[in-house]
């Protein structure tokens, strides 16, 4: 449920960033501001509807997933709050996408860091209690997240309105709203569906690995953590490249689009090759950090010697997919 909402947020962010950056590249500042304003309204309405719908589906969905009856009260108490707060989470992510579309990557990074820091500070306060604040357990974890998201969302909206002037006062127009909605979703929906494929693939792989015993599952889980860290730089690059491509494509600077993409690819290949070498050299130590069982350690080392060979190609896929979205070719990206 959470990943479905986050996948939708990522898709909306990609669609917003690609559409907005292209308009800015074409020097259509007024149209860009109109789209950003309408898009924020659309996202708010959409998330209210989705939040309400998912509230009704909490028990059926988690029962279908095999959740035990005794866990349902805890799941309900957490998800009801989380789904309400997801409105702020998605608006926050879309605001950050708008900021990146202008070429500003620093402010979104600071907003995300501030959100994580606030969550880190508030979690123990609301979970265990502090001073006059009573410990609320799992509900407290959800409340802490909602507070962090809402505070940083207000800040992000303020930056868009005051500093970037991308949010403007305009008359409500249903036709314009519909046009902007479809222009964003044309890119955003395929991107969201692509993001949903990842956990499905992971679930299938975990099921297959589980046939080889708990040691294999443990090593596979460690491998997934290593993979997420090893690809972090290239994943960040795939988020900063699209606005550059969209703006230059909108301005007709095709050579700069090609140069940016090729430079990103070359950097990623070299970077991931270095990461692979480092992992090979530190394979024994890395395996020891995650487990003290010889069977698990040997499987982690085997994973390190094989899987990271493909990280460079995975980085190329990240960059190519994000570039296709930036060029408004979402189905090629998917």
Count of positions (residues) in the chain: 334
Pseudo-torsion of CA 115, 116, 121, 123, nearest 10°?
100
pLDDT in tens, 280-333: 999 888 888 888 888 888 999 999 999 999 999 999 998 999 898 888 888 777
Q: Which residues contact 308 (CB under 8 A, 6 or more apart)?
A: 226, 227, 230, 272, 275, 276, 279
Place 270 in a pLDDT band, splitting at 50, 70 and 90: very high
Average pLDDT in the 163-188 region? Answer: 86
Beta-carbon count within 10 A of 91 CB: 22
Q: φ and ψ at 73, to 5 degrees? A: -60, -40
Beta-carbon count within 10 A of 294 CB: 10
pLDDT in tens, 208-254: 888 888 888 888 888 888 888 888 888 888 888 888 898 888 888 89
Average pLDDT in the 35-41 region? Answer: 89
Q: What mean pLDDT, rounded, does the chain reach?
A: 86
The structural domains of the chain, with segments of one domain joined by +, span 1-194, 212-334
Least confident of 27-41, 59-73, 256-270: 59-73
Query: Strand (E) positions, the chain?
Result: 129-130, 133-134
Residue 197 in tokens: 């494929």
**Full DSSP string of 183-247:** HHHHHHHHHHHHHHHHHHHHHHHHHHHHTT-HHHHHHHHHHHHHHHHHTHHHHHHHHHHHHHHHH
Q: For the chain, how are helix, strand and coil distributed in percent, rounded to 5?
A: 85, 0, 15
What pLDDT is attached to residue 200?
A: 74
Residue 241 in tokens: 């490249």
Evaluate whether 100 touches 243 at the Cβ level (below 8 Å).
yes
């Amino acid at each position: 449920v959470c990943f479905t909402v986050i996948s939708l947020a990522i898709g909306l962010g990609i669609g917003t960033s690609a559409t907005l950056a292209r308009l800015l590249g074409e020097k259509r500042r007024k149209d860009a501001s109109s789209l950003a304003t309408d898009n924020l309204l659309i996202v708010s309405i959409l998330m209210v509807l989705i939040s309400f719908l998912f509230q009704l589906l909490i028990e059926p969905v988690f029962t279908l997933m095999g959740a035990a009856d005794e866990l349902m009260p805890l799941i309900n108490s957490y998800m009801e709050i989380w789904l309400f707060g997801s409105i702020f989470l998605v608006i926050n992510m879309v605001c950050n996408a708008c900021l990146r579309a202008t070429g500003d990557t620093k402010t979104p990074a600071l907003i995300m860091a501030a959100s994580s820091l606030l969550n880190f500070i508030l979690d123990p306060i609301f979970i265990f209690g502090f001073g006059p604040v009573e410990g609320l357990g799992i509900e407290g974890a959800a409340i802490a997240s909602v507070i962090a998201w809402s505070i940083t969302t207000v800040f992000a909206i303020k930056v868009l309105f005051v500093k970037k002037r991308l949010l403007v006062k305009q008359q409500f127009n249903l036709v314009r709203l519909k046009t902007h909605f479809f222009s964003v979703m044309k890119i955003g929906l395929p991107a969201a569906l692509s993001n949903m494929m990842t956990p499905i693939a992971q679930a299938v792989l975990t099921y297959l690995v589980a046939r080889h015993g708990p040691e294999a599952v443990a090593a596979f889980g460690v491998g997934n953590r290593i993979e997420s860290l090893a690809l972090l730089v290239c994943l960040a690059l795939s988020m900063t490249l699209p606005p550059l491509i969209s703006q230059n494509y909108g301005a007709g600077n095709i050579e700069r689009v090609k140069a940016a993409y090729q430079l990103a690819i070359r950097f990623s290949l070299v970077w991931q090759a270095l990461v692979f070498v480092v992992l090979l050299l530190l394979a024994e130590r890395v395996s020891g950090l995650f487990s003290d069982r010889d069977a698990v350690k040997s499987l982690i080392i085997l994973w390190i010697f094989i899987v990271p060979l493909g990280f460079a190609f995975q980085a190329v896929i990240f960059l190519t997919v994000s570039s296709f979205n930036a060029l408004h070719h979402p189905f090629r990206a998917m």
